[in-house]
């Protein structure tokens, strides 16, 4: 079963390819993506890597978490499931306002 990892504290110069190469040392990388700002297209300093198995993901976490990559001490852990962004109501104010 595939396992998705969160990779934080990345250099703003890191790319999808450098991230893929780093994690490929520990198993098969299904995907590697640096998250970028949608307006500036600049890295936000974190990304996600999907490994082929949980064992490979755990090996990558053990080897890489807290270690230096491209001049930064990176953080690697299992990614949390994405939160549901739908707030209902569609008001853009978090749905906390009600008209009387």
Q: Does residue 93 lie in a domain region?
A: no
Q: pTM of the predicted model, to two decimals?
A: 0.81
Residue found by looking up tokens 């450098």 in the block: 18
Using DSSP's 3-state secondary structure scheme, residue 19 falls into: helix
Tens of pLDDT, residue by residue over 6-26, are 999 999 999 999 999 999 999
CA 41 to CA 19: how far, in whole Å?
17
Look at the chain and report how many structural domains it folds into: 1
Distance (Å) of CA 68 to CA 10, 42, 74: 9, 21, 6
Q: Does residue 87 lie in a domain region?
A: no
pLDDT at 2 over 90: no
Domain range for residue 42?
3-78
Tens of pLDDT, residue by residue over 33-83, are 999 999 999 999 999 999 999 999 999 999 999 999 999 999 999 999 878
Task: Indicate the DSSP class of residue 5.
Answer: E
């Amino acid at each position: 079963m595939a396992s998705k990892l969160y990779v934080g504290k990345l250099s703003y110069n890191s790319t999808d390819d450098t991230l893929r190469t780093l994690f490929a040392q520990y198993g098969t990388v299904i995907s590697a993506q640096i998250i970028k700002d949608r307006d500036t297209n600049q890295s936000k300093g974190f990304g996600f890597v999907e490994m082929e198995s949980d064992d490979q993901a755990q090996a990558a976490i053990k080897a890489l978490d807290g270690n230096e990559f491209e001049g930064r001490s990176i953080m690697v852990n299992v990614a949390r499931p994405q939160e549901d962004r739908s707030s209902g109501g569609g008001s853009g104010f978090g749905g906390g306002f009600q008209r009387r």
